[in-house]
Amino acid sequence: MGGAMQRKLDDAEAEPLLQQCRQMASDMEALRRSEQRYRALVGDDDAGDRCADREDPSTRAQCLHGIESALAALGVEESEEPAAAAIMRAAEEARAREEELHDRLDESAARGRALESKLSELTRAADTLQRALDGSVLAVGDEEDASAAGDRAVEALKRLCEDSVTASAAMGGAMQRKLDDAEAEPLLQQCRQMASDMEALRRSEQRYRALVGDDDAGDRCADREDPSTRAQCLHGIESALAALGVEESEEPAAAAIMRAAEEARAREEELHDRLDESAARGRALESKLSELTRPRTPCSVRWTAACLPLGTRRTRAPLGTARWRR
């Protein structure tokens, strides 16, 4: 009887311990599921909370290293912001710069097409005027026909000169805007460098807090309300990938953000090169337009003189004959 009572007492004492074991098993299962989710997002993660250096394969270290590499690829220097906020802002700015470059490239292409059209018109008009000056079009035998043709040629030349001036002004304004942007860029770099030097200690403190943070022990679910450094990094990487237009991929988040940043930087450099090529084509077209419109004053003088009213038929013929001599 005493043995039965003792076993009953032992069972009563063991009941809370059994409940604790069941709770621990449930917690371990939740941690295992969370670990599998992190493995899918970031890659293999070692247990524990270790220093976040480049040789540390933990989730936090991988995320921070990926963010630092992505910021470097996007041309972002050290800032006061935490790493997660910095990569989101840098990704949005990179996307905005890419869209602006696309708009500027479209505008440059439109200006190039307009200049090509104007150049084609001026070329045809110049050929027509040259044939007229050579005597292959205008017949000087008929005085009214020659005078009317001269008037038409002068009017056409005036219109072409006005169109050329308009096109040159538009192209000059576009090139001036490009020069202004190029001059403003070094100034912006100087301001950033000055701010970087003045706030060195504060940036160092913020960077340390972003790298180490106040992270609770364990492996928790990375949602937006999780204040841990790891969760913030994962959320920042996901937001940055979305801003850069990267859809879901199978590679870890740290590798994905580094690749996306490098691709965004490459696209931006390609757009800059294409914009420079478009500007060079515009300058070449403007030079051709300038060459075509350069002799407009002598032609105008010759055609204006040709259209002046003369006295008699007897005096008109010698002047007309002299007009076509070289």
C-alpha span between 266 and 173 (Å, rounded):
29
Written as six digits, the tokens of 309 are 């009213």
Number of H helices, E strands in the chain: 9, 0
Instruction: Express each pLDDT in 106-151 by its tens digit.
Output: 888 888 888 778 777 777 777 776 666 665 444 444 545 556 666 6
Whether the model clears a pTM of 0.95, i.e. scores above it, the answer is: no
Instruction: Express each pLDDT in 38-52 by its tens digit.
Output: 555 444 444 333 333
> Which one is predicted more confidently, 297 or 269?
269
Written as six digits, the tokens of 172 are 């000059």
- Number of neighbouring beta carbons within 10 Å of residue 59: 27
C-alpha span between 177 and 183 (Å, rounded):
10
C-alpha span between 36 and 42 (Å, rounded):
10
Q: Is the pLDDT of residue 171 over 70?
A: no
Written as six digits, the tokens of 300 are 């105008």
Lowest-confidence pick of 18-27, 186-195, 312-321: 312-321
> Which one is predicted more confidently, 236 or 191?
236
C-alpha span between 218 and 245 (Å, rounded):
32
Question: Residue 121 to residues 30, 172, 285: CA-CA distances in angstroms?
Answer: 75, 20, 13
C-alpha span between 50 and 61 (Å, rounded):
8
